[in-house]
Chain A
């Protein structure tokens, strides 16, 4: 067993509260939610609202600063940065969300099995422990390198690197819930394993899962940016915020907008999810409840 820093102690009875509504009623949570939704919308609507194709080059319009070269300026190949940032947000958000869903899809069953069946725990805990023994970034990096650079592979690599987090949280939840009276009672009454897990355990672990999802999304977004920055992520010329940053590096002094704007876009996404995630956690966790 190991301490976790990212997950809160679950609420005593989460079903009686309305954590989402409560999280939204705090100013920070509301702002985070609004920004997060806008970023997702901007990403989805990128093909409609982008002023030009993100891959359209114009060699006579290179390095134009914001204003002269559109809202966000142009890059080293004369491409419109606003369009690239919008498509980049699309990629970041898509990969961030998909990889986290995939992590949960693998991690949750692992955690359930480990937390519910002692026999499975011996094996699964070892697997989790081995995965935890490698820093997540190294796992993602190695996997991305093995699989080759593409959006799909980055999603897979990030998903796998985040699996242990989910598995551990759920396993912990199972341990906590299993000892509770009503569970013991339904087992005694002859309820099947699937029924116990499906009707009692899983719904009660939902809030912990929800928090884990919201804290993992920004990490996955950062991970994608990092892998793309290192050339292991999305393939150019498809725009990715990380790729745009690595592309901007040689021009740090002469074309600051190429480095500053995509970085701010990444931060807007991660900040939004973190804000909302914090509010949600506060709503679920009476201990850190402030008002």
Chain B
């Protein structure tokens, strides 16, 4: 069991098709096959009332206070415990959850009015109203140490209009798609002001209270979190399960073994190496959803003294000459990486745009071919002395290491001499922001709107860029695409952005993870989120 830092578990992202866990599993049981379009509707009589569902997650979710939560696995727990203002189904379609309807935008696009559901009470029985929404979002923005403040940087303030309506004042005009990203993540979780007041800011993490089908019951650090059905939940009548347990199992093999043995009922992030095994196993159904995120190589172009400092020019052919970067890209056989490291389960990725996005076009998805000869020629034309030494920083995750070793081998064929610098993920992140690296295999879990998948990594003034790439034209296009209201217009702008990024190559995109979820075949009604996490709200055990 390798110790895998929970924070750097590969986040896969996203999916397509609201589904079908229900349809497929019912089928596996010889029951009636139902094509389910909307999983909010369960089929009465097929699911048992009650039962305890165990979901295997890859790491301890850490702090469970929505304001301070920072792990990817906390998102899984919130699927059952804390609902958001808006949420996204597995195809990335946004729907109102605690909000009653989509936001209405003022003419200048700077105020979003959100109507709230009126029948909602927290798990402690108190009413969720506009004041509670303001309290929660203010706390997300202002609490010392909040992990949400960055996600809410587009929000100026929250105003209570009436008991069930709030106005969100935005810093600048924002496209609806870009707005959706903000409240479909943890920043959209509303907590009980009463409970926060009683527990105090710090201890609230020990038993968080929000709105959701299952309320916090108990926890054992690094082992499990137990939730029990909340009778106060506005849709409690349609909830079958009594209890949901999140079992922390860091080792992915053990997660798979426990699913096969029935010790757990559902697992997220099935390792690609176990796909064949699970597919042939009896009693288990495997769900696949194309992700929204990607894995890529960041190339340090201008990050000389840390990314808070002005961009400079990093020395060396790779940082100075886009053709050298292109040669590196051409030397890499993405399909081989996918086959060898990910068992062919992932997709190759050559740009930031997710194929499932409604803004995706042929141009943004296009891929240059694998061309080692061309790469060697290009390197020669660039007048570089070969072998050109390149240091590639990677974190300790096994698949990262295997990818690094493959890149080393493939790039080595055309004249790059790659050394691997393997560091713990905390170190890679610190050095990435600090500019203390040459190239780095990074990953991004993906969001439902393309703006959130590229702006923060390539915009000159972004606090998150590790490459410190800077191109005014790209900056302008990114800002315009974020504010534009017309999807076609946005799609076209992203084509231009993609073209320019392909020209300059600050990031070499490699693969797009596919979310793999394993479910026991006696469980039905599991929904998926675009980030590959599972929603047990309306799930249950199939009657014999």
Contact = CB atoms under 8 A, between A and B. Distances in A.
Interface of A: 55-57, 59, 62, 76-77, 145, 148-149, 229-231, 235-237, 246-247, 249-254
Nearest to A149: B422
B426 to A, nearest CB: 10
Nearest to A229: B2
A212 B396 CA distance: 34
A246 B398 contact: yes
Contact of A250 (B3, B271, B409): B271
Given A230-B2, A246-B398, A250-B398, A235 B422 contact: yes
Contact of A253 (B3, B277, B398): B277
A249 B398 contact: yes
Contacts of A55: 405, 409
B470 interface: no
Contacts of B253: 249-250, 252
A66 B389 CA distance: 35
Interface in B320-350: 336, 339-340
Nearest to A243: B401
A245 B1 CA distance: 10
Contact of A231 (B273, B408, B420, B424): B424
B401 A236 contact: yes
B396 A231 contact: yes
B477 interface: no
Given A76-B340, A231-B422, A237-B420, A249 B406 contact: no
B144 to A, nearest CB: 28
B340 A62 contact: yes
Given A59-B336, A230-B2, A250 B273 contact: yes
Interface residues of B, number: 28
A247 B274 CA distance: 15
Given A231-B396, A231-B424, A236-B420, A249 B2 contact: yes
Contacts of A252: 253
Contacts of A77: 340, 402, 405-406, 409
Looking at chain A's contact residues, the main secondary structure is loop
Given A231-B422, A236-B422, A249-B398, 11 more contacts: A55-B409, A57-B405, A59-B339, A77-B406, A145-B424, A231-B424, A237-B408, A247-B401, A249-B2, A251-B273, A254-B273
Q: Which of B401, B406, B423 has the most CB of A within 10 A?
A: B401
B67 interface: no
A237 B405 contact: yes
A250 B1 CA distance: 9
B149 interface: no
13 contacts: A55-B405, A57-B409, A59-B336, A77-B340, A145-B424, A149-B422, A231-B2, A231-B3, A231-B422, A235-B420, A237-B408, A250-B271, A250-B274
A56 B402 CA distance: 13
A180 B60 CA distance: 59
A249 B253 CA distance: 8
Contacts of A247: 398, 401-402
Top 4 nearest A-B pairs (CB, nearest first) are: A231-B396, A57-B409, A250-B273, A246-B2
B3 A236 contact: no
B392 to A, nearest CB: 11
B251 to A, nearest CB: 8
A148 B431 CA distance: 13
A250 B252 contact: yes
Interface in B503-524: none
Q: Which of A55, A77, A237, A253 has the most CB of B within 10 A?
A: A237
B348 to A, nearest CB: 15
Contacts of B405: 55, 57, 77, 236-237
A148 B423 contact: yes
A236 B421 CA distance: 9
A187 B110 CA distance: 91
A236 B420 CA distance: 7
A145 B427 CA distance: 10
Interface in B424-442: 424, 427
Interface string B157-192: 000000000000000000000000000000000000
Contacts of A230: 2-3
B402 A76 contact: yes
B259 to A, nearest CB: 14
A246 B421 CA distance: 18
A229 B251 CA distance: 14
Nearest to A253: B277
Contacts of B423: 148-149
Contacts of B420: 235-237
A235 B423 CA distance: 9
